[in-house]
Amino acid sequence: MKSYRKFVSLAALLALTAVFTACDSCSKPADDSNATPAATDSAAPSATDNAAPAATDNAAPAATNSAAPAAGQGDAEAQYKLGEQYHEGNGVDKDQEKAVKCWTKAAEQGHALAQMRLGECYDEGHGVDRNKAEAVKWWTKAAEQGNAKAQRKLGDAYEDGHGIAEDKAAAVQWYTKAADQDDAEAQCKLAECYLEGKGVAANPAKARELYQKAADQGDSDAAEALSKLPK
């Protein structure tokens, strides 16, 4: 009987020891020295941290930042400049039809550069149906105001009979006006007229002089023509 009691006491003691051991391990904090860092410690920065700047930061300026306000108020110079913006796609979407509309408004107010541009549009069919006669009409208006490029373009029209009856003498007159303003292309055209006697009496010396003036401005065609003239 005594042996049985000793056995029971020993079993009870072992059971109590196990209980205390288990409780001791539960009460200790977990050893996190080797634990994987929390996701937030090494998490990649959010998309907004390194996000590219908003598209509006580097976006092309809107038309409202250009000549649009003044153009809308009827300012001819602003209308011309806005037409250039639409023609080049500078600050606005490229749109030849809108360019033509702007230049037309400015041209109707007597703006020479707009008249010259409008003539080019009608001549080449850019943003409007091709109409050589209409091109000549606007070039004439600009040429009469002294625009050298329009004067040369008008000279071409008279020489070739495009949009107006062919008239070599009239071509020479307009080429002369443009050449006198140092338009190199007009100087070449006029030199050709003097060289071949088109619309004016042949004068090789005058042709050489004009080719030289154009070549001095860097015109390669003039330099080539000059090299081919008899010494």
Tokens 């110079």 -> residue:
77
The pTM assigned to this predicted structure is: 0.71
- 77 within domain boundaries: yes
- Where is the domain boundary, 145, 177, 199? 145
DSSP symbols for 96-113: HHHHHHHHHHHHTTT-HH
CATH at residue 184: 1.25.40.10
140 lies in the same domain as 177: no
- 85 within domain boundaries: yes
162-194 per-position pLDDT tens digit? 999 999 999 999 999 999 999 999 999 999 999
- 94 within domain boundaries: yes
What is the C-alpha separation between 74 and 105, in angstroms, rounded?
A: 8
173 lies in the same domain as 124: no
**Which residues neighbour 110 within 8 Å (Cβ) at sequence distance 6 or greater?**
76, 141, 145
- 158 within domain boundaries: no
187 near 222, Cβ under 8 Å?
Answer: yes
User: Around Cβ 203, how many Cβ atoms within 10 Å?
Assistant: 15
82-129 per-position pLDDT tens digit? 999 999 999 999 999 999 999 999 999 999 999 999 999 999 999 999
- Where is the domain boundary, 86, 112, 145? 145
What is the C-alpha separation between 200 and 194, in angstroms, rounded?
A: 6
138 lies in the same domain as 180: no
116-171 per-position pLDDT tens digit? 999 999 999 999 999 999 999 999 999 999 999 999 999 999 999 999 999 999 99
DSSP code for 31: -
DSSP code for 94: -
pLDDT (mean) for 27-33: 41
- 139 within domain boundaries: yes
71 lies in the same domain as 131: yes
184 lies in the same domain as 214: yes
Which domain range does residue 120 map to?
A: 62-145
- 35 within domain boundaries: no
- 15 within domain boundaries: no
190 lies in the same domain as 117: no
| Residue percentage of the chain with pLDDT more than 90 | 67
Quote the number of domains for the chain.
2
175 lies in the same domain as 211: yes
How much is the pLDDT for 7? 41
- 32 within domain boundaries: no
What is the C-alpha separation between 222 and 60, in angstroms, rounded?
A: 40
What is the C-alpha separation between 43 and 213, in angstroms, rounded?
A: 72
